[in-house]
Amino acid sequence: MVEWQGITKLKRIGRSVNWRRRRREEHDQEDVPAPRALALVPDLDARADSLLATFTEDLAESDTGIEFVYRSLDRVRERSRADDVLVILDETPLGRQAFRASREPIETSWARDLIRNGDAGLHSTPHSIDPAVAASVANLCSLALRLDVARHDSLHDPLTGLLNRRAFDELLAASCARSERYGWTFALVLIDLDHFKSVNDRLGHAAGDAALRAVGADLRGRLRAGDAAARIGGDEFALLLPSVEGSIVPELVRRLEQAVEDTVPQASITFTVGAAQAPADAIDPRLLFRIADQRLYEGKRR
């Protein structure tokens, strides 16, 4: 929700600035002197509000904050005719980060000195950018990265770092559509921690959380490119494994049990698995999930 509210606000800002620009243009046509506009450097006639309107519209349309930051730095360098442009961002939850135009590495003495000793904000060489423009661009870059964080948080479980149920459901639907259209084979694997409630009762919720984090860390570290893992319930996890062989699941469970044992030795946790294949078992995401869930339930009854 934070992401969309932020984007909507940016669009409103961009429209407002464009409206003021159009009004000024109409004013100019009436031969009435327009207010003196800010410039990036004294010998340029670009107006600051026009530049910032471009930035806000660009941010509203950017897929990622990182993409927006680098595109903005390149635009500032081109408009200001600077040799180099760098932005330093330093705030919660981003920490101190630096980005250089053209995605150049931080290897020049000018850039390294700024990283070590410079203030947060937009920097350029050999001449400085108008302070008002520099501050606005830096703020937009910061907002872009915060939107990235908000986007990530909206799709991931905060305890384990895995995808959350909402993100997983969307990915499962997309995988089923791909399988139906192209015959792509994948497995949906549901994993449940057996008697997890007793771990919380015996060892406390901190131990239970540690066990769940261990599962998340092991899955993130061991799954292959193209695999997906999610925490879809309190003690239930789900995997999407393209072109998976049946032998991989028992080995995966063994690794998970070992990871939990190493983290919480007293937990004595085991896992039950239920799996379904697409398109062999089903192509509809709800039906595929129901089949895997039924097989999980049958496994628990054994």
Let me know: does 190 contact 42? Beta carbons within 8 Å: no
Q: Give the H or E element holding residue 3.
A: helix 2-29
Let me know: does 82 contact 124? Beta carbons within 8 Å: yes
The reply to whether 90 belongs to the active site is no
The residue whose two tokens read 């349309």 is 61
Structure tokens of 278?
């697409």
34-49 core/surface letters (b: 16 or more CB in 10 A; e: else): eeeebbbbeeeeebbb
Own/partner pairs, 278-282, CB within 8 angstroms, 24+ separation: 278/175, 278/176, 278/179, 278/184, 278/185, 278/186, 278/187, 278/188, 279/179, 279/180, 279/183, 279/185, 280/185
DSSP line for 28-59:
HHTTPPPPPPP-SSTT----HHHHHHHHHHHH
Dist CA 267 CA 283 (whole Å): 37
Own/partner pairs, 251-257, CB within 8 angstroms, 24+ separation: 252/189, 252/222, 253/191, 255/218, 255/222, 256/191, 256/215, 256/218, 256/219
Position 86, amino acid = L
CA angle 272, 273, 279 (to 5 degrees): 165
The residue whose two tokens read 């044992």 is 261
Let me know: does 73 contact 51? Beta carbons within 8 Å: no
Pairing of β 95-100 and β 84-91: antiparallel
Question: Which residue among the candidates 130, 235, 281, 284 is catalytic per the annotation?
Answer: 235
Residues annotated as part of the active site: 235
